[in-house]
Amino acid sequence: MRFRLSIRTRVVLAVALITAVGFSVLAIVLARYSLDRQIRQVDDELDIDEGVVIQLFVAARAEGQPIVRLSDTGRLVQLVDADGDLLLDNTSSAGIPALVDASELRDRNLTKAIPGLERTRIRVRQVPWNEPAYLVIGRSVEQIYDANDALARSLVIAVPALVLVSMTVAWFAIGRALRPVEVIRASAENLRARDLGGRIASPNTGDEVQRLADTMNALLGRLEAAAQRERRLVDDASHELRSPGTAVRALVESRPTDPEAAARHDRAAVAALDRLQVLMDQLLVQARYDQRGPAPTTPVDLDDLLLEHAAQLGADHPELHVDTTQVSGGQVTGHRDDLNRLIANLTSNAAHHARSTVTCSLVEQDGRVHLAVEDDGPGIPLPDRERVFDRFVRLDDARPHVGAGLGLSIARGIVEVHGGTIRATGRADGATGARLAVDLPAHL
């Protein structure tokens, strides 16, 4: 397994790198700025010295006086020729060789170390003389450079110290920020695959970490609900499959020897197998809708499907009157096969319980499609109007027991996948009977 540093360590190292680079650049800029600013101050003072020396030089030349007496201002003052040879100097520069050589006469300002002297800031200016001559004024800047060197040494010590402080602060700050994450990890580690009722501890921080914990808890809630649905389906299926399975086995084991009785026996066994096959198919359909598949995206004309099933219902049950006068246009977004099964289950349920009439209605209004199927049978008691959509529910009332009790449960699964609702009520006209009403979002 490849070794990797923790997030905390990586972030602290990144902070250290950024801090070190940032403070180093800042220190260099600061030291450079301080030196340049002080050198500019020296240049400003040399401007003043230059003006004073020029005035004294001009006055001395006019009066025939030597520059050595009149230009002694406490600065190094020299007059050199075009070859850099010393012509005149003042008392402060007595005994000092020329401050510049011929190659430096073109420079207005320069800093150099003079042999036997400190580092000196030098100003050069050409002046009128019997021959090409240059006035050279110098001022020591050794103290400035010494102070700048001391600042640089201080920054060399300060920068690592600041980096260390930044790393320490970052280490504790990141540790505190990641503490809720560790709590979440520990909570998740304690969860068991068979115990989805537990939840992750949600820190009350109001930030991304809390939102992460809440999202994970919501996911656990959905997983728990899905697991409960699967367990209920398995429990219900095992109970419902036991009876037809036992019946088929009994029929197979007790087959009579008389040919006529054996034929009847075989037909009963085939019928029992057919019922078992229908039950298994419905269980598979129910399991598929319990998974809550992807949202549908295809436009479906629901009125066409309803009219098709109504026509088929009238053909299969000629004793019933199927009323479709209240069916108008309505288009939804969905899976056509699923919606086809939905209407088939609703109309089949109505046909099983109707005495004489099945009424179908559909209308699109305010962005919703309202579909309803009514029968004039015994109706559904008020306490059972929600329970009737559960799996394997057979009401103990006047309604005859038909099928495995999965039709309306499957219908509710289809409706919920399509973002709608389904409910059982009494007939709209108040007469005896049941009304199954479906509300779905219209196709935009």
CA dihedral for 180, 185, 191, 193, sign (positive or negative): positive
pLDDT for res 398:
41
Question: Is the CA virtual torsion 50, 55, 60, 62 positive or negative?
Answer: positive
Are residues 81 and 98 in contact, defined by beta-carbon separation less than 8 angstroms?
Answer: no
Measured CA to CA, the distance from residue 341 to residue 407 in angstroms comes to 9
Residues 271, 244: Cα–Cα separation, whole Å: 10
Q: Let me know if residue 203 belongs to a domain.
A: no
Q: What are phi and psi of 439, to 5 degrees?
A: -125, 120
Assess whether 303 and 430 both reside in one domain.
yes
Position 338 in a domain: yes
Number of separate domains in the chain: 3
Confidence at residue 400, expressed as pLDDT on a 0 to 100 scale: 44
Domain-ending residue, one of 116, 146, 176: 146
Q: Is residue 362 part of a domain?
A: yes
Q: In the prediction, which pLDDT does 428 show?
A: 85
Cα 161–Cα 167–Cα 168 angle in degrees, nearest 5: 90
Q: What is the CATH number of the domain that holds 71?
A: 3.30.450
Global confidence as pTM: 0.48
Considering the domain boundaries, does residue 191 fall inside one? Answer: no
Query: Domain boundary at 129, 146, 163, which?
Result: 146
272 and 305 fall within a common domain: no
Q: Find the domain containing 396 and state its range.
A: 299-441
Tell me the pLDDT tens digit for each residue of 40-84: 888 888 888 778 777 776 776 666 555 544 345 567 888 888 888
Contacts of 228 (CB under 8 A, 6+ apart): none
Q: Per the domain annotation, does 189 fall within a domain?
A: no
pLDDT tens digits for 196-237?
A: 667 777 777 777 777 888 888 888 777 777 777 667 666 666
**Nearest CA-CA partner of 56 in 45, 78, 72:** 72
β-strands 321-327, 357-365 pairing: parallel
Dist CA 215 CA 143 (whole Å): 66
User: DSSP string of 27-69?
Assistant: HHHHHHHHHHHHHHHHHHHHHHHHHHHHHHHHHHHHHT--HHH
The answer on 134 and 36 residing in a single domain is yes
String of b and e for 79-112 (b: at least 16 CB within 10 Å)? bbbeebeeebbbeebeebebbbeeebbeeeeeee
CATH number reported for the structural domain that contains residue 243 in this entry: 1.10.287
Contacts 24+ apart (CB under 8 A), 37-42: 38/141, 38/144, 38/147, 38/148, 39/111, 39/121, 39/141, 39/144, 42/121, 42/139, 42/141, 42/144
Residue 371 corresponds to which tokens in the numbers above?
């579909």
CA distance 112 to 122: 8
pLDDT at residue 258, as a whole number: 73
End-to-end CA distance of the chain: 53
pLDDT at position 285 is 62
Beta strands 331-333 and 421-426 are unpaired
Report how far residue 137's alpha carbon sits from residue 429's, in angstroms, rounded to the nearest whole number. Answer: 116
CA distance 62 to 56: 10
Per-residue pLDDT, 362: 95
Q: Are residues 381 and 408 in the same domain?
A: yes
Residue 133's closest CA among 80, 57, 61? 80
Rg (CA), the chain: 50
Both 26 and 110 in a single domain?
Answer: yes
Judge if 273 and 338 occupy the same domain. no
Residues 6 or more apart whose CB falls under 8 angstroms from that of 388 comprise 380, 395, 408, 424
Which positions of the chain have pLDDT values less than 70?
A: 1-3, 57, 60-74, 91, 93-94, 115-117, 129-130, 192-197, 229-230, 232-253, 255, 257, 265-266, 269, 272-296, 392-405
422 DSSP assignment: E
Handedness of CA 339, 344, 350, 352 (dihedral sign): negative
Cα 216 to Cα 201, 219, 373: the distances in Å are: 10, 5, 41
Asked if residue 265 belongs to a domain, the reply is yes
CATH at residue 381: 3.30.565.10
* Cβ neighbours for 402, distance < 8 A, ≥ 6 positions apart: 352
Tokens coding 411? 């219908």
Token readout for 229 is: 């649905």
Burial status of residue 371 (CB atoms within 10 A of its CB: 0-12, 13-18, 19 or more): buried
